Amino acid sequence: MTTITRILFCVFFVLTAQALAEENPDQPSQANTNQQPPNVILIYIDDLGFGDLGCFGCQDIPTPNIDRLAAEGVQCTASYITNPPCCPSRCSMIMGQYGQRFGKYGMSRGLPIPEDRPTLPKFLANNGYTTGQIGKWDIGTKQQGPLQVGFNQVAKTPPKKKYTKQEIAKLPKAVKQRVTKKSGSKYFCINEAGETVWLTDYDGDSMVDYVGRHKEEPFFLYWSPEAVHSPSIEAPERLMARTTATGKRRKLAGAIVSVDDQVGKLIKALEKHGLRENTLVIFTSDNGANGGEGGSSAPYTGGKGIGTQKEGWVRVPTIFSMPGTIPRGKTYEGLIANFDFYSTIAALTGQPIPRHCDGVDLLPFLTGENTGDAHEYLYWLNNEPGDAVRRHLIAARWKDWRLYKKYEKDPWQLFDLKLDPKEERNVAADHPEVVTQMAAKHSTWATTLAPLAQIPEIEEGALKSTPGHGWASLNDVVATEQVKPTKNEVAYSMLGFRNTLVFYTFEEQKVVLKILIDNQDQSFPLSCDLYQFAPTTTEQNLKNWINNQHSDAIFPEVPQPIFTKKLPKGFCKVTASEEIRAHDNPGPVPGKFTEFKVQYSVKARNVGKNIKIPTFTDSAKVFVQTK
């Protein structure tokens, strides 16, 4: 075949494929089978109500970009959060299972997510995906940050705007009280250029940046903005003026408009890089509307804060959009839950769904290959004894029926959501057989759950969000140079993926400090373990010990005479007067060793009668090799 013939054949193939796609716009395209694995973007809005989007019937808040996602995908009108609100919703989603599977029966903020099964980002990272997170976290313990549970990169938290006294004096009363109490803004931040910007807008720019940097590789991006969580009182007039909302709802409307703007930025970025048809975008909310902000659950009732036993607290707007794979402009009315996202994404990427998942692959239901409900039943069991009373909920969904009660001692109430979406008429007495059947199913499901788990006490030095601009990563520093310590020098070693620094000094010849760097922002330091060395330990013993560390164990067992004992964890506190900064250097040079100067202090506590470690403050030279 000549070169000209090949060109003509390729042109014919492309034009034919395009014509077929235009003729059958609702059918999945087969022309991209040789593309890289599909990308996934999960947008998880905070407190967005079922009735707050144009594509779900909202009339006073324009959301053209989110509406476009729906027009180029499938709207799910019976999408549920089985572990409301905030924290449990996110934990359930990222684990792909009911939160009760790991003992979470309410808010339980600070309860760890399991480490014996992969999170969604860890699963994808293990299968060749780069994974990024932007915005709110609120998952697991303080030591289970996004970088610790599977994300490769996390957008740093920009500094919040601080209002001057003159600015505060000009603010409306409600805003003035808020910013005075919180010592700063919730939704205005400072960008890298020093400009004051709306936080949601800043997040949108971060999404565009992430897509552009990873366009050549399969990626998973999770955007979970602060928006539209209360209070939205700082919403600028430029956003509110684009809506027809009135009263307190006008502030919320402005916040929602900004969310829509970021979806528009994202779509444009995907189209710019030719990724729109190879990217699944899932848009949803962590729980239902906040009535106190004027949020809408229409046509249902209830929501966050007020009416948490009602449908509006747990039914959320959800959209799946992937032109060419998922049909355009369709509606799916079957029962689904947020833990289905994990299973659906796994199936989309060609991987088996992990055994721990409660979810199902939704793609056959979204494409119309399967009909009916993805789940015959869905269940709720929010009965943590210490949780807020308003959040107690025991419930089940089956077909058009909703069965619920607040406490175990209460009688069941039954509602037909098709005939009575506002749940105004309890028909339990009219349909005792439905109550019996659904209650029995709920009881059987409850026997499969883990017992109520206790929130652990987290030691000092817990992980915190990384302040600043740009992205944090565990892989910024990859190697170190062994340096002979002197009085004011400390050598250190990186222990594999644990991102652990080992500092040691021979002046006292007694201690090794293990410092975990916070999200690789070079913020120094967070926590330490202290080791007491045997008197016979030599410098070479110690170097050999550090060089033999393995990434699958922080400090494996080592023979004497390296150390006499590992002291109780958390007995010391490490602080720093400043971040690690380049010393006599313009900055780290890729592939080169850079000298940093560090100031630190160690204070012993609860050490024991026979162990005497002095409190000391010192500075150290650290040599780091960067990528």
Any domain includes 11: no
Region of 302 on the Ramachandran plot (φ > 0 left; ψ -120 to 50 alpha; else beta): left
Any domain includes 19: no
Percent of the chain predicted with pLDDT > 70: 68
Any domain includes 347: yes
Higher confidence at residue 144 or residue 511? 144
140 and 285 belong to one structural domain: yes
- The pLDDT of residue 540 is 53
Confidence band, pLDDT 50/70/90 cuts, at residue 10:
very low
Answer with the one of 308, 342, 376 that is the final residue of a domain: 376
Q: Do 146 and 121 meet the contact criterion of CB atoms below 8 Å apart?
A: yes
- The pLDDT of residue 573 is 31
Q: What is the pLDDT of residues 299-329, one digit of tens each?
A: 999 999 889 999 999 999 999 999 999 999 9
- The owner of tokens 């449908």 is 311
Rounded mean pLDDT, 82-108: 97
pLDDT reading at 541 higher than 70: no
- The pLDDT of residue 263 is 98
Confidence band, pLDDT 50/70/90 cuts, at residue 457:
confident
182 and 311 belong to one structural domain: yes
149 and 279 belong to one structural domain: yes
CA separation (Å) from 27 to 118, 325, 329, 472?
Answer: 33, 7, 12, 40
Any domain includes 548: yes
Residue 131 domain boundaries:
40-376
Q: Rounded CA gap, 133 and 472, in Å?
A: 10
Any domain includes 497: yes
- The pLDDT of residue 445 is 98
Higher confidence at residue 421 or residue 462? 421
DSSP 130-168: EEEEEE----S-TT--GGGTT-SEEE-BPPBP---HHHH
Q: What is the CATH number of the domain that holds 335?
A: 3.40.720.10
Q: Rounded CA gap, 241 and 255, in Å?
A: 11
- The owner of tokens 């250190």 is 492
Answer with the one of 361, 376, 391 that is the final residue of a domain: 376
Phi, psi of 330 (to 5 degrees): -100, 165
348 and 487 belong to one structural domain: no
Q: Rounded CA gap, 229 and 90, in Å?
A: 14
SS3 readout for 258-271: HHHHHHHHHHHHHH
170 and 301 belong to one structural domain: yes
pTM score? 0.73
Any domain includes 524: yes
478 and 371 belong to one structural domain: no
Per the structure, the count of domains in the chain is 2
Q: What is the pLDDT of residues 181-208, one digit of tens each?
A: 777 899 999 999 999 999 999 999 999 9
Any domain includes 25: no
Q: What is the pLDDT of residues 563-591, one digit of tens each?
A: 333 333 322 333 332 223 323 333 434 43
Task: Give the strand pairing for 73-80 and 315-321.
Answer: antiparallel
Confidence band, pLDDT 50/70/90 cuts, at residue 549:
very low
Answer with the one of 338, 354, 376 that is the final residue of a domain: 376
Rounded mean pLDDT, 48-76: 98
484 and 351 belong to one structural domain: no
Q: Do 474 and 495 meet the contact criterion of CB atoms below 8 Å apart?
A: no
Higher confidence at residue 312 or residue 543? 312
